[in-house]
Amino acid sequence: MRKIEIIFQPDGKRALVEPGTTILDAAKQIAVDLTSICGGKKICGKCKIIVTEKDRVNAITKNELNLLSNKEIENDYRLACSTKVIDRVVVKIPESSRIGKQRLQIEGIETPVTFDPFITKLAVKIAPPSLEDLRSDAKRLLDALKDTYSLTNLHIDFELLKKLPTVLREGNWTATVTIFDNRKIIDVEPGVTYPRNYGIALDIGTTKIAGYLINLDKGKLLSADSIMNPQIPFGEDVISRITHAITEPEGLTQLNEIVIRGINELLESLCAKTGINSNEIYEASVVGNTAMHHLFLNINPKYLALSPYVPVVQGPIDIQSQNVGSGVKLNIHSQGNVHVLPVIAGFVGADHVGVILATEIYKSEEICLAIDIGTNTEIALGNEKDILVCSCASGPAFEGAHIKYGMRAATGAIERIQISPKTFEVNYQTIGNSEPRGICGSAIVDILAELFKIGIINYRGKMNTNIDSPRIRGENKDAEFVIAWNEDTGLEEDISITQEDIRELQLAKAAMFTGATILMKNKGMTRDDIQKIFIAGAFGSYIDSKNAITIGMIPDIPLERITSVGNAAGTGARMALMSRESRNTANEIARKVRYLELVKDPDFMKEFANAMCIPHREPERFPTIKTLQ
């Protein structure tokens, strides 16, 4: 029978099903993250999906007309349980229909800051006009703020003048002003609204976008969440995104609009959870790698992909929210400020400035190595005196991509693994203690380390298929090791790690270690000089340091000196949102840090080839690891 392809966005997963199969069944077959409380009984109305190619599925059913709102129907929403496939179709799963709890992407180190945000809200009583007092509305507001709060040199955003007369009279001459940076009034509301003052910190990664909603009246984190970067269908790494932006007509606009739409979805979900109106978010603080930074700001990224890879702009950017983006506007207060942290170089972005800020390397006496693991991995080495940074193209393997059963760190992801050296039995732990649906980054590190320690793979990463175990099957590049049997999984198949997966992981860990090595060489340092290692990144909080050393991902230093800091880039963005001092420090970091171009180093290729081995071709670099070479 003819099979029909269904493509699920934003993950890009594909299912091949018979005509007439429901989207929900198709999603289950390939473990697409799609919620369904009633399990397909067509009563819960939770399995919402978006299908724009209406002629490729059955017509909307009476059941759906009952369970969906008119607005949803207008926006091409369907229920996966009631939608049957007729022809090849793309199905979008909105963030609200996902099961997976986003956690690992958003948790990060908490670095204390002096709470002193750029946004303040103040209520004020204003004298009404009379024939004896003919001051303009603007003047009488400014005079009232001067008299009440001794605020001078304030300037009213031009757009506010349009509503000012109505607002002052509606509030019966009591109003609340929102002030940016002690100098610009960016909103005025009737009556007293001052505690309602919020900000959003955003970390735009190549693969994931994390958002942190913060109360700017109190400095408290209210809610955090993350989504997949919806640009992924245009390429998984920054180079393919840049290529799309510069070669396709309207490519830049397209990528800009799609990322802002994604962020707006994230904002909507955070606002819904907290009962906050997006209009009450007055500032966004944004980090991201340099390519994401340019695409978010709709700035031509062409020269980021051409040697010598210079960015268009390095310094911090402050723009009114309404000026961000080409067509789609960022959904915070239209006069709100968008602060984008500075970048360091074409491949070391504002996210790494955030990591350096959050880990406080810049004021440490000890020599620190900070590794921010992502699709690109940035590494910083140094202390208060001098910091040297580089970027390595590690790829998205540790984020679960390019790995057969890789997934993001969501409910059902295997996050921790141990393999018995004798029986090869596997103990695993999943996020949310659910049935396993895939493997996330922290477990991927574990697997590689475990397989190496018990000799299932050798120092070259090759799987020994001569071992007699039902878990080891296939040959050469088709070889694989079964981690979970299908009867135990949430899927209809076994979860395994393949020889090809292992190759991907070797490439990734080799890239990271080479970066660290070249930085040390350039600063005239050895492993012994490193007093601290910070591991940042989506799975940072959960990584097993010993296993990371075992596979040769990070230098072999005593475990107590290694700290996982989670999404430290996001922490940096939060700090810059909450603290004037932190924002200034971030600017100083970006100015002072020195960038090293790895490929310019004559030892780069040799070091990379050596680092492909597990843990390394030169065992003396990993004295604590017993090698089987």
Give the residue with the Cβ less far from its own copies, 194 or 303.
Answer: 303
User: Contact between 181 and its own copies (CB under 8 A)?
Assistant: no
Instruction: Rule CB under 8 A: say whether 601 interacts with its own copies.
Output: no
Distance between CA atoms of residues 46 and 37, nearest Å:
7
3-state SS, residue 232: helix
- Considering only 302-310, 428-436, 447-455, 575-583, which stretch makes contact with its own copies by CB under 8 A? 302-310
Q: Indicate the residue among 148 and 300 with the shorter CB distance to its own copies.
A: 300
Q: Which of 303, 459, 485, 604 binds its own copies (CB under 8 A)?
A: 303
CB of 321 to its own copies, least distance (A): 12
Please say whether the beta carbons of 504 and 511 come within 8 A: no
Interface residue with its own copies among 2, 41, 62, 158 (CB under 8 A) is 158
Place of tokens 């802002």: 260
Buried b / exposed e over 51-80, threshold 16 CB at 10 Å, is beeeebbeebbeebeebbeeebeeeebbbb
Specify the 3-state DSSP secondary structure of 182.
Answer: coil
Q: List Cβ neighbours of 202 (8 Å cut-off, separation of 6 or more).
A: 209, 210, 211, 212, 263, 284, 285, 286, 287, 288, 573
SS3 202: strand
Span interacting with its own copies, options 155-163, 183-191, 198-206, 357-365, rule CB under 8 A: 155-163
Choose the stretch contacting its own copies; rule: CB under 8 A; options: 184-192, 299-307, 418-426, 609-617.
Answer: 299-307
Is residue 137 a contact residue for its own copies (CB under 8 A)? yes
The sign of the CA dihedral 300, 305, 307, 310 is positive
Number of neighbouring beta carbons within 10 Å of residue 133: 9
Q: What is the DSSP letter of 197?
A: -
Q: Is 166 in the site for its own copies (CB under 8 A)?
A: yes
Q: Is 172 in the site for its own copies (CB under 8 A)?
A: no
* Least distance (Å) between residue 132 CB and its own copies: 8
Helix extents (H) in 420-498: 441-453
Q: Is 135 in the site for its own copies (CB under 8 A)?
A: yes
Q: Nearest 10 degrees: CA dihedral of 272, 332, 262, 355?
A: -100
The two structure tokens encoding residue 58: 């059955």
Query: Which C-beta is closer to its own copies: that of 73 or that of 319?
Result: 319
302 binds its own copies (CB under 8 A): yes
The torsion angle over the Cα atoms of residues 64, 66, 69 and 71, rounded to 10 degrees, is 60
Residue in 72, 76, 95, 159 binding its own copies, rule: CB under 8 A? 159
Interacting residues with its own copies between 113 and 132 (CB under 8 A): 129-131
Task: Report how far Cα 174 is from the mean position of its chain's Cα atoms.
Answer: 42
Residue 615 CB, shortest distance to its own copies, in Å, is 32
Distance CA 465, CA 478 (A): 10
Closer residue to its own copies in complex, CB, 37/161: 161
Question: Quick one: DSSP state of residue 83?
Answer: -
Q: What would the x/- binding string for its own copies be over residues 312 to 351, using CB under 8 A?
A: xxxx-x-x---x-------------------x-xx-----
Q: Cβ(350)–Cβ(287) under 8 Å? A: yes
Tell me which of 292, 299, 510, 576 binds its own copies, using CB under 8 A: 299
Rounded-to-integer distance, Cα 552 and Cα 550, Å: 5
Q: Which DSSP symbol is given to 284?
A: E
Q: What are phi and psi of 114, to 5 degrees?
A: -80, 115
Q: Among 19, 20, 39, 165, which residue sits at the site for its own copies (rule: CB under 8 A)?
A: 165
1 binds its own copies (CB under 8 A): no
Which of the residues 344 through 383 are near its own copies (CB under 8 A)?
345-346
Confirm or reject binding of residue 584 to its own copies (CB under 8 A). no
| Interface with its own copies (CB under 8 A), residue from 102, 206, 298, 610 | 298
Residue 38 interacting with its own copies (CB under 8 A): no
* Least distance to its own copies, CB of residue 309, Å: 7
Among residues 360, 597, 604, 627, the one that binds its own copies under rule CB under 8 A: 597
Binding of residue 162 to its own copies (CB under 8 A): yes
Give the tokens for residue 621: 């670099």
What residues line the site for its own copies (CB under 8 A)?
A: 129-131, 133-139, 156, 158-159, 161-166, 297-300, 302-303, 307-315, 317, 319, 323, 343, 345-346, 595, 597, 600
